[in-house]
Amino acid sequence: VVNDAFGHPQSVVVLGGTSDIGRAIVGRLVGLRCRTVVLAARDPARLAAAADEAAAAGATAVATVHLDATEPGSARDTVAEAFKAAGGPVDMVLVTVGLLGEPERDERDPDRVGELVTVNFTWPAVAMAEAVERLRAQGSGRLVVLSTVAGVRVRRANFLYGSAKAGLDAMTWGWSEVLRDAPDAAVAVQLVRPGFVHSKMTTGLRPAPFATTPDAVADAVVRGIERGESVTWVPGVLRWAFAVLRLLPPSLWRRLPG
C-alpha cells in the first residue's frame, strides 16, 4: 500500500460519494495526491458530477459504482465492486452514506423508521464488515466513518436518526478495538463526530450551536489522518462540550437549544 509518509491515502473508496461532506474530503485528499477515487452512490447525475469534480481536482483514476442503502443485501457486492474498480490496493474507505429524514413525519410511519435504521446503520454495518475483511486481506488501510454528535447523546428532535447513528458509532468503535489488536493487519479506524454541518442534508434547518461546514470537516479528517486519531470531533470543542452534555439530567438536556 502506498500511503505517503504522512499517511495520506493515494486511493479512496467513498460509500456515499455524492455526500457534500464526502466530496469535500475527496477534494482535500486529491489535493494531497490521492490519485484513485471510487465513488459509490445512488443518483447517476449527482454521481457523475462528483466524479467530474474529483477528476478536475487532479484524480487520475475515477470510477463510479451504484449504491442503494435501502438494500443491505447489496452492500457486500457494492463494496466488492468498488474495490475492483480501484484496480489496486485501497488505502482508505470512507463511509458517508446517511439519511436525516423528516423527524415529525417519520416517527409516525413505521416503514420510514425501518428505512432510517437501514440506511444509517444496517447497510453501513454490512458494508463496513466487508470493507474491513478486504482491508485486512490487503494488510493495511484505513476506515473512516461519519458518525455524528446526534448519536453520542440522542435528542427528541431527531431520535430516529440519532439512535441509528448511535448504533453505527458504537459498531465503528468496536471495529477500532478489534483492529487495534489484530496481528494480521495494520488497519486504522477513524470515527468522525461532527456537530451540525451546513450541507444538503441540513438545508432549511436552523443551525445548532458550533455549526460547521463540509470543508471544516474535511480539514479535521485530514488532520486526524496525519495524527493517527481514532475519534475526530468537528469542531474540536464538541469533545469537551459533550463530555459535560452527556452527563446532564434529562430535564436539562431536553431544554437545550439546537
Active site residues: 161
Instruction: Rank residues 4 and 70 by Cβ distance to ligand NAP and give the closer one.
Output: 70
28, 53 Cβ separation under 8 angstroms: no
Figure out which of the listed residues 53, 68, 215, 219 binds ligand NAP, where binding follows CB under 6 A.
Answer: 68
Q: Per-residue x/- marks for ligand NAP, 212-251, CB under 6 A?
A: ----------------------------------------
CA dist., res. 79 & res. 62, Å (int): 16
Q: How far is the CB of 149 from ligand NAP (least distance, A)?
A: 7
18 in contact with ligand NAP (CB under 6 A): yes
Query: Contacts with ligand NAP: how many residues (CB under 6 A)?
Result: 28
Near ligand NAP in 121-180, by CB under 6 A: 146, 148
What track of x and - describes contact with ligand NAP for positions 169 through 208 (by CB under 6 A)? -------------------------x-xx-xxxx------
